[in-house]
Structure 1
Amino acid sequence: MILITRYQKMAAHCLPKFSRQILLVLFSTLIMGCSNKPEQWLEKTSLALPKSYSGQVYLIPDAPSALAHRIQAVREAEDYIEAEYFSWTADVSGLTLWHELLIAAERGVEVRIIVDDLLFFDDKWLVDIDTHPNLSIKIFNPFNARKLGWLTRAADFEMHRDRLNHRLHEKYFNVDGKTMILGGRNIGDDYFGYSPQANFFDLDVIVKGPVIQDYERNFNTLWQGELTVPVNEVIAYNPDKHSGSFDKVYDKVMAENQPLQESIIRKVSLLPKPEYIKASVTPMFDSASKRTDSQSYLRKRIEHFANVNQWPAEELFLSTPYMIKSDEHEELFTALAERNVEVTVLTNSVASNDSPFASAYYQTYRSALMEKGINIYEYDSHALHYSNFYNANAYYHNKAFIADNTISFIGSSNFDPRSDMTNLELGLLIESQAFATELKAYLLDSHTDKFWQVEQAEGEGYVWSKQDEVSHNEPRMKSEKRLINGFYRMLKIQNEL
């Protein structure tokens, strides 16, 4: 799903409306042939229980603080920094973090960064950063097409889709093996509350303890793998022409957004000291083998761990931006219903979903979920978060679950086939009732004004209610979207979402 969602967002900024629609249909048509079904269950050896550790966790309370904590950690770095992200935008937030990393590299800190290639093109400034002797950048699964935008990239995807369909969706930030940040946020203004158009309601957790070493091993495996390529081998760079290109991009963007930049730096200086919660933490990783066997390694490992430890016994609280039907998900929900486990789902409404494809397929899946007795809360596209710099319309992007108000999971994976069987994902299980209570408050209990509760209406249809508001139609959904969603469902690409 991320592949299409991010394409749509980029196209929205770069192309006229008519061209956007043509390319959107073209790109979605290209990926229709990419769906792969699992051919076999995971080998038993891959389901060995991971080791759990004692650790400390801190739920970052708002979006601007999430960027501020990253900057603060970089400024305190002594030996090394390593990070990997699906997207890293060249806006105020993204460039500010790159600038801070360069400053750290200047004082001798070794910096290694892996970024997925989907949203990078012929960005000379990225190679310019990499020329620093203490800062190295690698690109995951690079495209061949780097110029002429999405037209050539779509053609490249069609010719090499068996390889290019697999993307790096992990989000990981580690400083000195002492401070690690995991969650659903990528790097960009819209993830930190600084976009004037729309911002994601998302989450991150800061982790301390020996569990970080497992994530370092995962990072090193990826760094040394065949799919990560040095950026200077991907993007052509001429020192005579392109030296200093990062400074030019950085200076231009900051000059145009000085109040925003000042707000970011001020937020760092005002950060309170984190109040950590002690917890048992268990790392959860995917496998690069899914490139060839399309197995849902991460999800199966989590389910196996849950079954061995016999949870959830009473309640599952599931948060996901994209809820797409699959046979495996149906089996899970059926099993939970048979055990009388109460399931609550927090997800996007049709109007708040940043992917038109995901909202189209979720519309038809919702009735099946409600027939299983699942409680559904849908995010309001007009929800406001007053901690954000810009109170723009919002998308829901929290990826987490809470089992029996004790076990929490925070990670990069969505509840969709693409996260299960195609993209690389990771996460962290946290055993702490105190943290679970805090996480549930962050997701819903402190934000009930931001969600529509969906219930079956008398007769046919649904009722959406939020405080004093009641709607018998999809809230804030434009009439033309109903027809468009019907067209998207005709494409039958749900296994790619």
Structure 2
Amino acid sequence: MANTAGKLKRIGKWIGIALVVVFLGIPVIFALTFLGIQEATERQWLGKAPHHEAIAARSTQPHQVALLDVGFDSLAERLRLIESAKESIELEFFIYEIDTASRLITQALARKAQEGVRVRILVDFAMPVFKLAPAYVKTLEAAGVEVRYYNTAGIQRIFAAQHRTHRKLLAVDRKRAIVGGRNIGDDYFDLSHHYNFLDSDLMIEGPIADAITNSFELYWASEWVSKPSEINAEVQQAPLVDDLLGTLSTKEMALTTELRQHASEHTTSTCNDMQFVTDYPGSGVERRKVFLAISELAHEAKREITVESPYLVLRDDGIAVVKSVVGKGVHVRFLTNSLNSTDAFYTVASLASSLAPLRMPNLEIWAYEGQPPAHASRTPASSRWGVHAKRAVFDDDTVAVGTYNIDPRSANLNSELIVICRGNPALALDMKTSMRSRLAQSKPIVGTPQAGGEQALIQGADGDAVFRMRAIAPIARFLDFLM
């Protein structure tokens, strides 16, 4: 019996060691390997970051701007903007779904292409979310729409495959543009019956739209861009090539009519100080410009900053910026997702494990609970919603809207963009009003007497989501550079 007990004890010990190696050792080795590749790539560009006039522009000419806070409203305005095109339409997105919203937009694009308008779509090739396969592109090209893919590097190129264009823009005739957090898909326009995003775009008319278009041209001509015909055969297939340009269903036809008749829910104001900043195409931190612009904005603030981001994963440089800003007496408030309002359980795990250094004076963190917006103008399509906007208000007169998430991936790996409007209290009030409505449906995590910490982050989530978050928590901090 003693020998048996001893053997069982040794077996248990070796099983424990094996589990430690699997759940900690392998991720640590992977992280170190990745960081080694990253360091080599960064050294390649150290001190010689590429520059192009398209990556930064600022104009003091009058711009008409409007906050597109409601998804359905944003879809209606996109369709109107496309319909107004006379010469050119440029679209760049991280995700281009094959669903109702994408059909309506794609068919509107095809109609304009057949009228002689040049229409171009640049979509990222990130395989976990990639949908616009070459088989679809053949029908688009037959209709006169040009399509290109950004970064088709396979997973064997570890570092290169991590770099994505996360930019989202629609530009028309170099005069008008919509930029912000929304991709092309039902869940960005309040149409999904499973889950919808609370997002935000900025509609712009004025000279800065020309700069936005120039940045598209830079990316379109980049060495990171491929033609769909150059892609391997295994990703050539698509279920039905008429999914995008085929006949609309009766329900979709009714939706099209509703969108055409939809009364805009936004107000327009004038911005006399408009700035556009984007990252340079390609990997390497020397090409990342948006983080620097956001950091500069934060340090310009005198009284208050309110930030909305679906993820809140702050590493040392981000925490240093926050600490410096709140140390000057500026009140900073973050709105992000709870575990119940997002499927990105790994980012919630990372936030939960880093709450201690975020407990500092003048800093609040709130998490959206996941319910439909309380003041929706249309019947909510789903019972579960999550924050997806990437925006901020500074001192009641400056706003920033873009594609940048508060996480290391946006800071170090992805190509992002941001538009900044200074000196516009009306636009700032619109955004603050919107943020307040979302904060009213959120829970304080840090920084208020009622703050619930990690428990508030997971409250309301189902057991499976909590299990996944707990399981990933031990290694979340090792891999947060990928989040």
TM beyond 0.5: yes
Q: Which runs of no fewer than 5 residues in structure 1 stay unpaired?
A: 1-24, 144-155, 465-470
Alignment of 1:392 onto 2:383: yes
Distance 2:457 2:313 in 1: 21
SS of equivalent to 2:393: strand
Q: Report the Cα distance in structure 2 between the residues aligned to 1:250 and 1:30, rounded to whole angstroms.
A: 47
**Structure 1's 46 and 433: CA in aligned 2 closer, same or farther, altered over 3 A?**
farther
1:104–1:295 Cα change, 3 Å? closer
Structure 2 unmatched runs, 5+ = 1-23
Q: Pick the aligned partner of 1:247 from 233, 242, 246.
A: 242
1:193-241, Cα deviation, whole Å (9 max, x unpaired): 100100000011110100111111111111111111122222659x9x9
Following superposition, the deviation at residue 283 of structure 1 comes to 0.7
- Structure 2 counterpart of 1:12: none
SS class of match (2:281) = coil
Distance (Å, rounded) in 2 between the aligned partners of 1:132 and 1:70 = 23
Q: Is the Cα–Cα contact under 8 Å of residues 127 and 232 in structure 1 kept in the other structure?
A: no
Q: Equivalent residue for 2:230?
A: 233
Over 3 Å counting, the alpha-carbon distance change for 1:298 and 1:90 in structure 2 is: same
Could you report, residue by residue, the CA deviation over 1:461-491 in whole angstroms, capped at 9, with x for unpaired residues? 9438xxxxxx868320334544432321333
2:247 aligned with 1:271, yes or no? Answer: no
Alignment of 1:20-169 (within 5 A): 32=31, 33-35=33-35, 36=38, 50-53=57-60, 54-118=62-126, 119-120=129-130, 123-132=133-142, 134-143=144-153, 156-157=154-155, 159-169=156-166
Question: Are 1:357 and 1:485, in contact at CA under 8 Å, matched by a contact in 2?
Answer: yes
Tell me the secondary structure at the aligned position of residue 90 of structure 2.
strand
Decide which moves more: 119-128 or 40-49: 40-49
72 and 372 in structure 1: CA distance in 2 versus 1, 3 angstrom threshold: same
* Cα deviation digits, residues 268-322 of structure 1 (max 9, x gap): 2223496421112111111225x13466421113334665xxx201111111110
Contact 1:194 1:260 (8 Å CA) reproduced: no
Q: CA deviation at 1:50?
A: 4.3
Q: 1:107/1:246 Cα in 2 relative to 1: closer, same or farther (>3 Å)?
A: farther
The CA deviation at 1:403 is: 1.0
Distance 1:246 1:463, change over 3 A: same
User: What residue number does 2:314 align with?
Assistant: 325
Shift of 1:128: 1.9
Q: Which one of 196, 200, 203 corresponds to residue 199 of structure 1? A: 196
For residues 386-440 of structure 1, what are the alpha-carbon distances to aligned partners after superposition, in whole Å with 9 as ceiling and x for unaligned? 3355033011101011111111100001000000110000010011111111111
> Is contact 1:462–1:473 with CA below 8 Å preserved after alignment?
no
The 3 A distance-change label for structure 1 pair 199 and 121 is closer
In the alignment, the residues of structure 2 paired with residue 245 and residue 47 of structure 1 have an alpha-carbon distance, to the nearest angstrom, of 41
How far apart, in 2, do the equivalents of 1:493 and 1:325 lie? Answer: 12
1:303 is aligned to 295
Amino acid in the other structure paired with 2:130: F
Alignment TM-score, normalising by the size of structure 2: 0.82
Q: CA deviation at 1:45?
A: 9.5
SS at match of 2:310: coil
The answer to whether the 8 A contact 1:287-1:298 is kept is no
Matched, 1:358 2:355: no
| 1:41, distance to aligned residue in structure 2 (A) | 7.8
- Once the two structures are TM-superposed, the CA of residue 28 in structure 1 deviates from its matched residue by 8.5
- Deviates most, 374-383 or 129-138: 129-138
- Contact in 2 for aligned 1:55/1:278 (Cα 8 Å): yes
Is the counterpart of residue 478 in structure 1 residue 462 in structure 2? yes
Q: 2:279 aligns to what?
A: 286
Alpha-carbon shift at residue 455 of structure 1 (Å): 5.0
Are the aligned partners of 1:34 and 1:165 in contact in 2 as well (CA < 8 Å)? no
Name the CA shift for 1:66/1:317 in 2 (closer, same or farther; >3 Å): same
Q: Which residue of 2 aligns with 1:344?
A: 333
Measured at CA, do residues 169 and 45 of structure 1 come closer, stay the same or move farther in structure 2, by a change above 3 Å? closer
**CA 1:34–1:126 in 2, change beyond 3 Å: closer, same or farther?**
farther
Q: Does 1:184 align with 2:176?
A: no
In the alignment, the residues of structure 1 paired with residue 185 and residue 420 of structure 2 have an alpha-carbon distance, to the nearest angstrom, of 26
Q: 2:89 & 2:279 partners in 1: Cα distance?
A: 22
Q: Which amino acid aligns with 2:336?
A: T
Secondary structure class of the residue paired with 1:446: helix
Offset from partner CA, 1:330-382 (integer Å, 9 cap, x none)? 11011012211111111111221221111110112233223344112210112
Partners in 1 of 2:52 and 2:222 — Cα distance? 22
Percent identity of equivalent pairs: 21
Q: Distance in 2 between matches of 1:390 and 1:262?
A: 16
Residue 437, structure 1, aligned to residue 422, structure 2: no
The answer on whether the counterparts of 1:407 and 1:436 sit within 8 Å (CA) in structure 2 is yes
Matched residue of 2:184: which SS? coil
Q: Which has the larger radius of gyration?
A: 2
Would you say the 8 A contact 2:353–2:473 is kept in 1? Answer: no
Q: Quick one: structure 1 residues 316 and 135, their matched pair in 2 at CA, closer, same or farther if it must change by over 3 Å?
A: same
Q: Aligned residue for 2:482?
A: 496
Q: Please state how far the C-alpha of 1:456 moved relative to its aligned partner.
A: 6.6
8 Å contact kept, 2:361–2:447: no
Counterpart of 2:5 in structure 1 is none
Native 8 Å contact 1:31 1:496 kept in 2: no
Deviation (angstroms), 1:446: 2.9
RMSD of aligned C-alpha atoms?
Answer: 3.3
Q: Distance in 2 between matches of 1:314 and 1:269?
A: 42
Name the aligned partner's letter for residue 358 of structure 1: T
The letter for the 2-side match of 1:100 is: A
Give the match for residue 402 of structure 1.
Answer: 393
TM-score, with normalisation over the residues of structure 1?
0.80
Report the Cα offset of residue 179 of structure 1.
Answer: 1.8
Take 2:118 and 2:30, find their aligned partners in 1: how far apart are those partners?
Answer: 38
Equivalent in the alignment of 1:381: 370
The answer to whether the 8 Å contact 2:82/2:172 transfers is: yes
